[in-house]
Amino acid sequence: MAIQRVHSKWAKTNVLLQSDLLSGSIPTTRRWSRETLREMLNECAMVYVKPDAGTYGIGVIRVEKRTRGVYTFQSGTRLRTFTSFDTMADRLERLIGRRTYLIQRGIHLLRHSKRRFDIRVMVQKNLMDRWETTGIIGRLGNPAKIVTNYHSGGTPMSIERLMGSHLAAADMSAYKNKLRKLGTDVAHQLESRYPRLKEIGIDVAIDTSLKPWILEVNTLPDPYIFRKLSDRSIFRRVYRYCVGYGRFKAKRR
Ligand SMILES: Nc1ncnc2c1ncn2[C@@H]1O[C@H](COP(=O)(O)OP(=O)(O)O)[C@@H](O)[C@H]1O
Ligand SMILES: [Mg+2]
């Protein structure tokens, strides 16, 4: 049977919210509406507005309520400024059109040399058909952009390097274990609703108090990003598991 893919971020988020273990790690996420945007900006001043079924950071917009009635939004590298909520919302409504969009509380991502980064956690069915977290890698955003995706100019980097200035070296392996556990918890919860999943890639934001937040879960995760790690054994295992559940054919030698 084919490997299961689920495009809707809204559907996947709602499955995760049903887990007591995970619901506290999901930033408030709601369907787009002008009024919902108004409410959420009054509560948290910075939100992400994104397509329900997007990828690669395309169409993702960061919206902020600033002081003195000023509002801004940024998609790509262009920042637009408005002097009222309504003029901004009109513009966003035109941009979004009839597509399904979500609004998510914005997380202030940790920074490394002034650039924001987030973390991709790869979780796969291993050769014994059990969920295993096989790869963890950071993605350092292009300074001009509001997304960290590799396909939008993000730079893959080890989390040792990215978290180095935020975490004592002695705490690194415990922190990685926490991310690994988060990874398999997410996989088990999604599997309860989508039983033919074999692999997921979780985008995790780390806030300034080092709390991990689940931004989204991809069901067609890019394995090749793990080739960027100097530890070659990580990509080899990721690839081996992909072959195991039939995403790729074994290489002929
Ligand atoms: N709520 C959020 N807070 C902070 N950054 C976010 C948030 N949502 C998305 N981002 C940034 O935008 C990127 C793309 O968003 P994501 O939800 O992963 O959509 P896509 O499917 O396009 O990858 C994330 O990797 C992250 O850098
Ligand atoms: Mg993503």
Give pLDDT, residue 114.
Answer: 94
**Counting ligands in written order, which one lies closest to the CA of residue 53?**
1
Q: For ligand 1, atom 10, which residue shows the shortest CA distance?
A: 147
Residue 253 — pLDDT band, cuts 50, 70, 90? low
Ligand 1 pocket, mutate which of 9, 215, 220, 225 (most atoms under 8 A from CB): 215
Instruction: Please give the domain boundaries of the chain with CATH numbers for all domains.
Output: 9-26+109-244 (3.30.470.20), 29-105 (no CATH)
Contact 64, 71 (CB under 8 A): yes
What residues does the ion ligand 2 have nearby, CB within 5 Å?
203
What proportion of the chain, given as a percentage, has pLDDT over 70?
Answer: 99
Q: What is the pLDDT of residue 141?
A: 97
Cβ–ligand 1 contact at 104 (below 6 Å): yes
Task: Identify the residue whose C-alpha is closest to ligand 1 atom 19.
Answer: 57
- 57 Cα: distance to centroid of ligand 2 (angstroms): 6
Residue whose CB lies within 8 A of the most ligand 1 atoms, among 5, 12, 50, for a mutation test: 50
For the stretch 217-223, contacts whose Cβ atoms lie closer than 8 Å and that sit 24 or more positions apart, written own/partner, are: 217/9, 217/12, 217/16, 217/186, 217/190, 218/55, 219/4, 219/5, 219/6, 219/7, 219/12, 219/194, 220/5, 221/120, 221/122, 222/150, 223/122
* Residue range 37-57, pLDDT digits in tens: 999 999 999 999 999 999 999
- Average pLDDT across the chain, whole number: 97
Residue 174 confidence (pLDDT) above 80: yes
Nearest-atom index, ligand 1, CA of 57: 22
Which ligand sits nearest to residue 30's alpha carbon? Answer: 1
pLDDT of residue 249: 85
**CA distance readout (Å), 53 to 30, 73, 92:** 14, 20, 18
Report pLDDT for 88.
98
Q: Is the CB of 151 under 6 A from ligand 1?
A: no
Does residue 203 line the site of ligand 1, with CB under 6 A? yes
C-beta of 61 in contact with ligand 1 (< 6 A): no
| Per-residue pLDDT tens over the stretch 176-204 | 999 999 999 999 999 999 999 999 999 99
pLDDT at 251 over 80: no
- Which protein residue's CA is at the shortest distance from atom 26 of ligand 1? 147
The answer to whether residue 252 scores a pLDDT higher than 70 is no
What would the pLDDT profile of 144-160 be if each residue is shown by its tens digit? Answer: 999 999 999 999 999 99
pLDDT above 90 for 106: yes
